[in-house]
Amino acid sequence: MARSAQDSGGRRLPRSLHPLAWWAWAAGLAIAVSRTINPLLLLLVLGVLGFVVTARRTEAPWARGFKYYLWFALSVIAIRVVFRSVFTSATAAGDHVLFRLPQVHAPHWYAGVQFGGPVSLEAVLAAGLDGLRLACLLCCIGAANTLANPKRALRVLPGALYELGVAVTVSITIAPQLVESVQRVRRARRLRAGKASGFRALRSIAIPVLEDALERSLQLAAAMDSRGYGRQGNLTVRSRRLTAALMLAGMLGLCTGAYGLYDPTAPAQLGLPALLAGSALCCAGLMLGGRRVRRTSYRPDPWRLPEWIVTGCGLGSAALLLVSAHYDPLALSPTLSPLSWPSLPLLPALAIGLAALAGLVAPPPPDEPARPGRLLIEPASQPIEFQQAVSR
Amino acid sequence: MIRFEQVSISYPEAAAPVLRAVELDIPEGELCLVVGPTGSGKSSLLGAVNGLVPHFTGGTLAGRVTVAGRDTAKHRPRELADVVGVVGQDPLAGFVTDTVEQELAYGMEQLAIAPAVMRKRVEETLDLLGLAELRHRALHELSGGQQQRVAIGSVLTAHPQVLVLDEPTSALDPTAAEEVLAAITRLVHDLGVTVLLAEHRLERVVQYADRVLQVHADGTVSDSPPARAFEQSRVAPPVIELGRLAGWSPLPLSVRDARRAAGPLRQQLAELPYPDEAKPTAQPVLLAARKVLVRYGSVIAVREVDLDLRAGELTALMGRNGSGKSSLLWALQGSGPRQGGTVQVTDLLGGPAADPHQLSAAGARRLVGLVPQTPTDLLYLDTVGAELAQADRESGQATGRSSREILDGLAPGIGAASHPRDLSEGQKLALALAIQLAAAPRIVLLDEPTRGLDYQAKRALTGMLHELIEQGHSVLVSTHDVEFVAAAAGRVVVLADGEVVADGPTGEVILASPAFAPQTAKVLSPLPYLTVEQVSASLARSRQ
């Protein structure tokens, strides 16, 4: 793996890339994926994702999640193929029938749907390829989540969305505490010889846990208040409403635009213009909402050349693929009838290769300090206790 | 710095105000200790300093509180964030971010302090509190003492002039508590921060205090220098009680002061017979544990521990956090995991010994009762009465004594209609204990019952436990509190790293290491006195 940190001097000091750059890169690759169903290109995309993730992820907990996305992607393909086999559609004349499932006729009021019947190779392949494309999209999101620290990503939220970011961060922190609380109370249940399952048990476990959670959230709210949370940025009702309206309209535009871009069958006018209008509205809303907020940010991630290049790689491959889809649509969506081995078109392959460049351009991730391995929940002790057990 | 002018605080559901006509003027750079029994207006007094009372908690505040010239009636807590820093009991509950560095910066981000200044202050604070190696660590991975220091650091970065600490060490073991208190005193001396500190374990802090604010039960607050404050106070650390007993003036606040004054007393006591050690009587062994092994993955929590519990014996289980105390208790009760060894419990009727781990939960409960570290985990009904009735149903009236009678024996005067969560810590503990005793187990285990209890509540707990051992129960209590152990336990077992490192009569075990000896023993060493009660009993006998 090409790690040229040493030979290229101080320019490539280990640091974490701006999370938005990774997200832009992944989004670009996702747009590229959505334009093709050529299995060779899709596999190439998976290869690129795998390369970049292994080259540039950290040792942090969230960075170990890529394999779960891969499993999820595989299951998506499998589900798609199975569904397609069970709910067969009519086979065409020249199809290669693989096997026949016992056929069930739907009742007359549900006519039109067929269960079982002949399963053709073409149908399975079409489903598999469709699933593969979806799987690639999922892996793009997974890669972004793996490469960019999700909490740092929340920190770059614009001022108007700051509250949202805080809420998400807090809930991420609270979730494991809640799990610990449930385990503790369940164990205590046994001490009273209470039932461990059933509705009554649910009540006896839920009430202490919820009371605990409520108490904890009140403490957190008091702590945040006394540390100056919400000190500035009290919006007037009018500007708050205006912000909300702008954001809503902007989001609508963004959704429509994304739909237009990702779905090749959508009318062309829907895509880019709606996306641009949506972004403009969102920006206006965020600026209006953030105008009154005075807050600084500790050690913000810088946006330097590598960020530009990584973003450029992702968006560039999207643009190249969009262009080649225009000139050579058949290479991107090879036909299944008659069955033929797909060819690897040059320009799209180069476009996807461009995205792999991100793995080389991005600075190497910082070395995480060695962390003690965490125990699973030690029963009946406060979290403080077992962490000490580990740290000693 | 802080001024209270005729301040009264009342809550709508309470009949009387919690604070009444409080008149205070605290100058800059003082360390004020706030003392008072649980349920007095201590927390309200502290909350009023940064406006959490009444802005956040509700209630009404009459009079005027000003901090650095700002009136809390006109300034909400967030607008006082740059003057007052608040640290609570449970540091983990107040953390907003996930790493040490981010947490230190959070308050400054809210105050819109320039990034370059923030960077500098974070580095300074990391050094000041000795957190530099921990800067990238996740907050939940830190030990309790480290977390509490981060919590203090995270309010210090905003450079507040006042620091309010509400029982910052109540959840910590003695070493971690020392760590935190050392950090606090350093702040007072080096930075001139005004500190308002509420603390149950007075023996740890009273020597550092410049003045003591006593919150009385009627809501009035008196303000005096420490030596004067404790002349009359009902809550006082052992060293002061000893001083009062011996009639020393001025009252000693530290072991060092007391040792200097104690020469004549030591001489007098040396001539008297030593206090009676509780003689080990040949009581039957109720619980016999052999080679108990508890492990979680690769970590061994309890390593082949042998333990016998006898009838009529109160045993204290000591050891630092994470030494396996809780795991051992749960393994003995049978509800926790146990990978090896045997536990044999003899039941009330002298039938064949049984292993609670192999019995049903109800069966195990009849042999061994365990009150967990968070007693409220056992409680889930709306009223005390309902909880007690449920406990009677669960245990099938094994004793003939209802749990209500047991509770009244332990802690009289808890109304059946009150909500368990509204009880004081000591009352919650008594309720949980009564529920467990309803099944009439002869072995009673308590996991850290002294946490968060004040002197009176601890004394009440000692009374409850002594009653139990007189009835023939065997009690095993895990605790960090040396003073409690000295007053209550007849035998001490010390665990370290999952192994028993000491097991013997209280006097022998806790006098063996000076660092863990109770204050009385430190003052009177080498005489083997553990508590002020022993000293006064000895003196009384000699006068007869």
pLDDT digits (tens, 9 = 90+) for A167-191: 877 777 777 778 888 888 888 888 8
User: Is the preceding omega at residue B526 within 30 degrees of 0, hence cis?
Assistant: yes
Running DSSP on this structure, what letter comes out for residue B395? H
Is the torsion defined by CA of B483, B425, A381, B43 positive or negative? negative
> pLDDT value at position B291?
94
- Chain A to chain B, count of Cβ pairs less than 8 Å apart? 237
CB B436, CB B365: distance < 8 Å: yes
Question: What percent of chain A shows pLDDT beyond 90?
Answer: 22
User: A-contacting residues of B 497-526, CB under 8 Å?
Assistant: none
| Interchain contact B303–A (C-beta under 8 A) | no
* B203 Cβ contact list (under 8 Å, min separation 6): B237, B238, B239, B483, B519
Contact B379, B387 (CB under 8 A): yes
Q: What tokens appear for A163 in the block?
A: 């509250």
* Beta strands per DSSP E along B297-359: 299-310, 313-318, 340-345
CA B31 to chain centre: 21
pLDDT at A377: 35
Strand partners of residue B293: B340
Average pLDDT on A134-144 reads 93
For the ranges A131-145, B203-217, B359-373, B521-535, the one whose mean pLDDT is highest: A131-145
**Is the model's pTM score more than 0.80?**
no
**% of chain B residues with pLDDT over 90:** 33
Measured between CA atoms, the residue of chain A closest to residue B337 is: A379
pLDDT tens for each residue of B127-141: 888 899 898 888 887
* Neighbour tally for A108: CB within 10 Å: 6
What pLDDT score was predicted for residue A376?
Answer: 33
Asked if residue A233 has pLDDT above 60, the reply is: no
Among left, alpha and beta (phi > 0; psi -120 to 50; other), residue B529 is beta
| Residue A188, min C-alpha distance to chain B (Å) | 6
- Count of all residues that appear for chain A in the document: 392
- What is the predicted pLDDT for the residue at B274? 75
Q: Which two tokens stand for residue A72?
A: 């999820």
Instruction: Give ∠ CA B33-B36-B41 in degrees, rounded to 5.
Output: 100
Q: Give residue A166's pLDDT.
A: 78
Q: Give the model's confidence band at A112: pLDDT under 50 very low, under 70 low, under 90 confident, else very high.
A: low
Residue window 365-384, chain B: list those with CB within 8 Å of chain A: 365, 369-370, 372-374, 376-380
To the nearest whole Å, the CA of A215 is away from the closest chain B CA by 9
pLDDT tens digits along A8-66: 444 578 888 898 999 999 999 998 998 888 999 999 999 999 999 998 888 776 777 88
Chain B 119-178, CB below 8 Å of chain A: which residues? 119, 122, 136-138, 140-144, 146-147, 154-155, 158, 171-172, 176
Please report the pLDDT score of residue A386 as a whole number: 36
Instruction: Please tell me the predicted confidence (pLDDT) of residue A7.
Output: 42
| Residue of chain A nearest B163, judged by CA positions | A226
For residues A275-279, give the mean pLDDT: 87
Chain A stretch 110-149, residues whose beta carbon is closer than 8 A to a beta carbon of chain B:
none
Rounded-to-10 torsion of CA A370, A372, A373, A377 = -150
Considering only the beta carbons, identify the residue of A184, A193, A228 that sits closest to B107: A228
pLDDT tens digit sequence for B59-80 = 899 999 999 999 998 888 988 9
CA B359 remoteness from chain centre: 34
Q: What percent of chain A clears pLDDT 70, i.e. is strictly above it?
A: 84
Phi, psi of A184 (to 5 degrees): -65, -45
| Contact yes or no for A53/A26 (Cβ under 8 A) | no
Q: Is some CB atom of chain B closer than 8 A to the CB atom of A374?
A: yes
Contacts of A16 in chain B (CB under 8 A): none
Do B364 and B387 touch, CB atoms closer than 8 A? no
A232 pLDDT more than 70: no
B479: its two tokens = 């605790």
Contact between residue B318 and residue B492 where contact means Cβ atoms under 8 Å apart: yes
CB atoms within 10 A of CB A71: 10
Read off the pLDDT band of B164 (50, 70, 90): very high
Model pLDDT for residues B2-34, shown as the tens digit of each residue: 999 999 999 887 788 889 999 999 999 899 999
Q: Which residue of A has its CA nearest to B144?
A: A384
Buried b (16+ CB within 10 A) or exposed e, A112-143: eeeeebebbebbbbbbbbbbbbbbbbbbbebb
The per-residue pLDDT for range B426-447, each reduced to its tens digit, is 888 889 999 998 888 889 999 9
For residue B345, how many other CB atoms are within 10 A of its CB? 26
Q: How far apart are CA B518 and CA B487, in angstroms?
A: 10
Residue A312, pLDDT > 90, answer: yes
Overall average pLDDT of the A318-342 stretch: 83
Residue A346 belongs to what H/E stretch?
helix A346-361
Predicted confidence at residue A258, as pLDDT, reads 81
Q: Do A386 and B322 touch (CB under 8 A)?
A: yes
Q: Which of B81, B84, B299 sits opposite A231 (nearest CB)?
A: B81
Per-residue model confidence (pLDDT) at position B294: 93
Please say whether the beta carbons of B328 and B305 come within 8 A.
Answer: yes
Give the lowest-confidence range in A203-207, A248-252, B102-106.
A203-207
* Residue A374 pLDDT: 38
Interchain CB distance below 8 Å, A226 and B299: no
Cβ distance of B96 and A224 shorter than 8 Å: yes
Q: Which pLDDT belongs to residue A370?
A: 42
Q: Which two three-digit tokens encode residue B139?
A: 């907050």
Amino acid at A120: S
How far is B93 from chain A, CA to nearest CA, in Å? 6
pLDDT tens-digit readout, B216-243: 888 899 999 988 888 877 778 889 989 9
Q: What is the DSSP string of A12-69?
A: G---PPPHHHHHHHHHHHHHHHHT---HHHHHHHHHHHHHHHHHH--SSGGGGTHHHH
pLDDT at A301: 83
pLDDT > 50? residue A1: no
Q: How far apart are CA B25 and CA B442, in angstroms?
A: 54
Q: Maximum CA pair distance of chain A?
A: 74
* A211 at B interface, C-beta within 8 A: yes
Q: Which chain B positions have a beta carbon within 8 Å of A386's beta carbon?
A: 322
Q: Helix, strand, or coil here: B252?
A: coil
Nearest to B146 by CA among A339, A316, A6, A384: A384
Contact status of B90 with chain A (Cβ, < 8 Å): yes
Strand order across the B285-296 sheet: B299-310, B285-296, B340-345
Q: Which residue has the tokens 């890669």?
A: A143
Chain B residues with beta carbon closer than 8 angstroms to that of A234:
none
A residues 341..370 contacting B (CB < 8 A): 368-369
Alpha-carbon A257 to chain mean position: 19
Q: Are B451 and B373 in contact (CB under 8 A)?
A: yes
Quick: pLDDT tens for B293-329.
Answer: 999 888 899 999 999 999 889 999 998 877 889 999 9
How far apart are alpha carbons B6 and B20 in whole angstroms? Answer: 8
Report chain A residues whose CB lies below 8 A from the CB of B337. Answer: 379
User: Is the CB of A299 less than 8 angstroms away from the CB of B119?
Assistant: yes
User: Tokens 């709508």 label which residue?
Assistant: B12
Q: How far is CA B334 from the centre of its chain?
A: 27
Closest C-alpha to A240, from A294, A277, A283, A285: A285
Please name the member of A173, A298, A371 whose beta carbon is closest to the beta carbon of B118: A298
pLDDT band at A113 (very low <50, low <70, confident <90, very high): low
Q: Reduced to 3 states, what is the DSSP secondary structure of residue B537?
A: helix
Nearest to B112 among A205, A295, A376 (CB): A295
pLDDT at A320 (0 to 100): 92
How far apart, in whole angstroms, are the C-alpha atoms of residue B314 and residue B490?
6
Q: Which residue has the higher pLDDT, A367 or B226?
A: B226
Q: Per residue in B32-50, pLDDT tens? A: 999 887 777 888 899 999 8
Say if the Cβ atoms of A185 and B377 lie within 8 Å: yes
Cβ contact, residue pair B326, A385, below 8 Å: yes
Q: Which of B15, B94, B2 is nearest to B48 (CA)?
A: B2
Q: What is the pLDDT of residues A332-341, one digit of tens each?
A: 888 777 778 8
| Average pLDDT of the residues of chain B | 87
Which residue is associated with the tokens 């368990």? Answer: B420
pLDDT band for A293, please (50, 70, 90 cuts): low
- Residue pLDDT, tens place only, B330-385: 999 998 889 989 999 987 566 678 888 888 888 888 889 999 988 888 888 888 99
A249 interfaces chain B, CB cutoff of 8 Å: no
- Mean pLDDT (chain A) is 79
